[in-house]
Amino acid sequence: MKIWGLVLCVWSATSFAAGAVETIDAHKHLGVATCSNSVCHGSTQPFRDSNVAQNEFAIWQEFDPHAKTYATLTKPAAKSIAAKLGLGDPTQAKVCLDCHTDNAPQRGERFQISDGVGCESCHGGAENWLNAHADKSVKHADNIAKGMYPTDNPVKRAEACLSCHMGTKDRMITHRIMGAGHPRMSFELDTFTWLHPHYKIGEKWIARKGDWNGVRDWAVGQGISAENLLDQLVDPKTGWNGIFPELVLFDCHACHKVYKGNKWGPRQGTGLGPGVVRLNDANLVMFRHVLAPVDKGAAKRVFDETRALHRATTQSREATFAAARRLRATLDELVPKVAAYNYDSASLDAILASIDADAGRGEFRDYAAAEHRQGQSGDAQVQARHLERHAQGRE
Ligand code: HEC
Ligand code: HEC
Ligand code: HEC
Ligand code: HEC
């Protein structure tokens, strides 16, 4: 476990040099047809004496929504969104293709954009590892060195998933795209990893690839989501829109609520007064809680720096950028600690106690209450469901 922690530290320390998308797109994408042969990953039955089941393509094609993401762009809902944005055919619009397909810059002969979010969207361009990776004697690390993406590493996995499920500064669901009718994004790493899996994590997987811990995945997902938010906020291209900041980074319910008046109450975590548009700090709040068992002092630091960021948004753009950069540096330092921490049931109790204390102070009056009232499946609900699942299963 200790060694695994170290490996994670090294990985995540290097991860900020090249983003997930750059790594995934660094080599030619050969296309799903290259993976789906019946003796490769296209078997209908699981193979017995292979490291992997080899029926991954069949599972992906039948059950995984990623196989249908291109088809989504041909439907009336997508056409209506694109028309409102003046984009024309959504299957030709880069902004839509970037997240709904494997919009790789370098493509092999068998590559088809209509395959949607195919194998190499997550596993990386196979140009240099395709031939070697089927050989049992080849180590996972050798494949990674040749451009396979480390989806087993929670930090790297979170970065890859969130590049589409939250967006990055280069591909983003803006408030304008939302306004045109795009569904709201909500993502939680552990839950989403297990919604439509074409893989099994058992003893054999652990022997080949290392430890697996669902609570840690959840915790890492919070940290990377929070980093993502801050990166989008400080990017001059995406963070601002005319005289307004990019509204999608703010708490939707600060603006979208039924006007009744007299509902406002203070939140220590923001320190803001009434009538102020708040940044959406849901992941920052959760990251502070997942730090509770790891390092209480660090959790307090995230609390203070998040509050300072909220205050800065009422001062100026420069103050906001400075506060966001300070917090981003803190997260850079703390995410590897969370990724290396061995969460157990005692840590889960510490997290729940930390959340309870916040709830007692009225910290969740903003988004959680609003989400429930509107019956949407937003972050807070996904997270509450997730915690319940872990508390019952004691994973
Ligand atoms: C940053 C990545 C990203 C971009 C950019 C993006 N989408 Fe999406 N889109 C998603 C994700 C992720 C979902 C699934 C959301 C969920 O269910 O959590 C989705 C869902 C949808 C859905 C609903 C699908 C369903 O089955 O309910 C439609 C329609 C859609 N997108 C159309 C578009 C169009 C049209 C564009 C271009 C204007 C676009 N999207 C741009 C990531 C993106
Ligand atoms: C949305 C992202 C995503 C897509 C698309 C995807 N995978 Fe995966 N795949 C993962 C994740 C996450 C894992 C589990 C972690 C790991 O083992 O790296 C995984 C695991 C696997 C494994 C098991 C690896 C092992 O060591 O046990 C195989 C084999 C695999 N995928 C093949 C495929 C094939 C073939 C396709 C296309 C038909 C595909 N994947 C599409 C994310 C993806
Ligand atoms: C290249 C972009 C892209 C990447 C990378 C990606 N996804 Fe997705 N994902 C999508 C889109 C787009 C949809 C919406 C599918 C639709 O309805 O058309 C989606 C849908 C999903 C859904 C179904 C959501 C629901 O509401 O049922 C799950 C679960 C999911 N993704 C998990 C993951 C995980 C886990 C990863 C990382 C290992 C990942 N995705 C990586 C683009 C991506
Ligand atoms: C600063 C206030 C503010 C914030 C924060 C904000 N919005 Fe909006 N939203 C608006 C305004 C203003 C409009 C435009 C209304 C109009 O066109 O008349 C709008 C329009 C929309 C629409 C189109 C509504 C319609 O009638 O078709 C959607 C959907 C939407 N917002 C979703 C969101 C989501 C999701 C979030 C959070 C991620 C969010 N908004 C955050 C102010 C806000």
Q: What HEC string does 193-206 produce?
A: HCCCCCCCCCHHHH
Pocket probe for ligand 4: among 175, 185, 186, the residue whose CB has the most ligand atoms within 8 Å is 175
| SS3 letters across 135-189 | CCCCCHHHHHHCCCCCCCCHHHHHHHHHHHHCECCCCECCHHHHHCCCCCCCCCH
Residues in contact with ligand 3 (CB, 6 Å cut-off): 65-66, 68-69, 72, 99-100, 117, 121-122, 151, 157, 160-161, 163-165, 192-193, 195-196
Query: 117 C-alpha vs ligand 4 centroid, how far in Å?
Result: 28
pLDDT, tens digit (0-9, with 9 covering 90-100), for 142-193 = 999 999 999 999 999 999 999 999 998 889 999 999 999 999 988 999 999 9
With contact defined as beta carbons under 8 Å apart, do 28 and 108 qualify? yes
* Range list of H helices, 235-295: 252-255, 282-291
Say whether 244 sits in a helix, a strand or coil: strand
> Would you state the pLDDT for residue 361?
81
Question: Can you tell me the distance from the alpha carbon of 288 to that of 159, in angstroms, rounded to the nearest whole number?
Answer: 19
Q: What are the structural domains of the chain?
A: 2-212 (1.10.1130), 217-393 (no CATH)
> Would you state the pLDDT for residue 18?
76
Task: Give just the sign of the alpha carbon dihedral 113, 117, 118, 122.
Answer: positive
Query: 118 C-alpha vs ligand 2 centroid, how far in Å?
Result: 10
pLDDT, tens digit (0-9, with 9 covering 90-100), for 376-395 = 334 555 555 555 555 555 43
Question: Can you tell me the distance from the alpha carbon of 159 to that of 174, in angstroms, rounded to the nearest whole number?
Answer: 19
Residue 258 per-residue DSSP state:
-
Mean pLDDT calculated for residue range 318-328: 97
Q: Please report which ligand is nearest the Cα atom of 313.
A: 4
Q: Pick from 341, 359, 12, 317: which is nearest to 157 by CA? A: 12
| SS3 letters across 359-392 | HHCCCCCCHHHHHHHHCCCCHHHHHHHHHHHHHH
29 beta partners: 107
Q: What is the mean pLDDT of the chain?
A: 88
pLDDT, tens digit (0-9, with 9 covering 90-100), for 67-100 = 999 999 999 999 999 999 999 999 999 999 999 9
Residues in contact with ligand 2 (CB, 6 Å cut-off): 32, 35, 41, 52, 56-57, 60, 66, 117-119, 121-123, 151-152, 157, 193, 198-199, 205, 208-209
Mean pLDDT calculated for residue range 318-347: 96
What's the Cα-to-Cα distance from 232 to each of 173, 180, 228, 377, rounded to whole Å? Answer: 11, 20, 6, 23
240 beta partners: 245
Q: Whose CA is nearest to atom 37 of ligand 1?
A: 96
